[in-house]
Amino acid sequence: MTDYAIPVPPQPSLPVAGSPLRFPVRRIFCVGRNYAEHAREMGNDPDREPPFFFTKPADALVEDGATVAYPPATADLHYEAELVVALGKGGADIPVAEALGHIWGCAAGNDLTRRDLQAQAKAMKRPWDMAKGFDASAVCGALTPYDGRAFTGRIRCLVNGAERQSADLADMIWPVADVIAHLSGLVTLRPGDLIYTGTPAGVGALVHGDTCVVEVEGIGSVSTTIA
């Protein structure tokens, strides 16, 4: 047994739908632009870009039903409704045809973003870490074990009950299998890794008191209140 100099930080984890078990989270990867209409609304050409990735710290996870304090250092906090996949099996250079077999479960997620800091980072050619990987930035619902189904179905974001985003998972530029394959060529993936698979068009701001719900058809939902 190892003796540590300070108490060991808690293991980040997510609930599993319909089970007392929790899923331990290792790393959180996110796809930058993966729906054509969202790429256009951010001023980019969706036809010319391979997938790119950024990360959030695992301890930035926020579960369903949480109240999150409006984060510091921003005046433009945005929601981004996303399908999240959790890996039960790792690997490097995973072939597209085998990629879906690495998925353990799926969830509805919200890639909270300090949009003003992101715009500033882009303009100054600086990293996105502080725009994307701040405390409580990785909203994720309970994981539903993956049954091998094709990724189609509605993904929606509602703010105070009003629909702000609505798309089909089949609209992704890079399907989930391609995302996993591509990412595994950049880093070795491991069990416990989460991948946020990108957001559709319609991103926008959240303010104090808002309740933001992300729903993914057949998978689940996650609700967050900004206080």
Count of H helices and E strands in the chain? 5, 18
> Min. distance of Cβ 155 from Mn ion in angstroms?
12
Residue whose C-beta lies closest to Mn ion: 111
Least Å distance between CB 9 and Mn ion?
25
118, 164, 138, 31: CA torsion to nearest 10: -60
Q: Does 199 bind Mn ion (CB under 5 A)?
A: yes
List, in sequence order, the alpha helices (H) in 76-114.
96-99
- Residue from 23, 74, 80, 109 touching Mn ion (CB under 5 A): that is 80
71 and 77 in contact (C-beta within 8 Å)?
yes
The Cα–Cα gap between 163 and 147 comes to 28
| Residue 111 touching Mn ion (CB under 5 A) | yes
The region of 36-44, 110-118, 159-167, 185-193 touching Mn ion under the rule CB under 5 A is 110-118
Residue (of 185, 5, 174, 189) closest to 83 by Cα position: 174
Listed ranges 78-86, 174-182, 205-213, 218-226: which one lies at the site for Mn ion (CB under 5 A): 78-86
Among the residue ranges 4-12, 65-73, 105-113, 178-186, the one whose residues contact Mn ion (CB under 5 A): 105-113
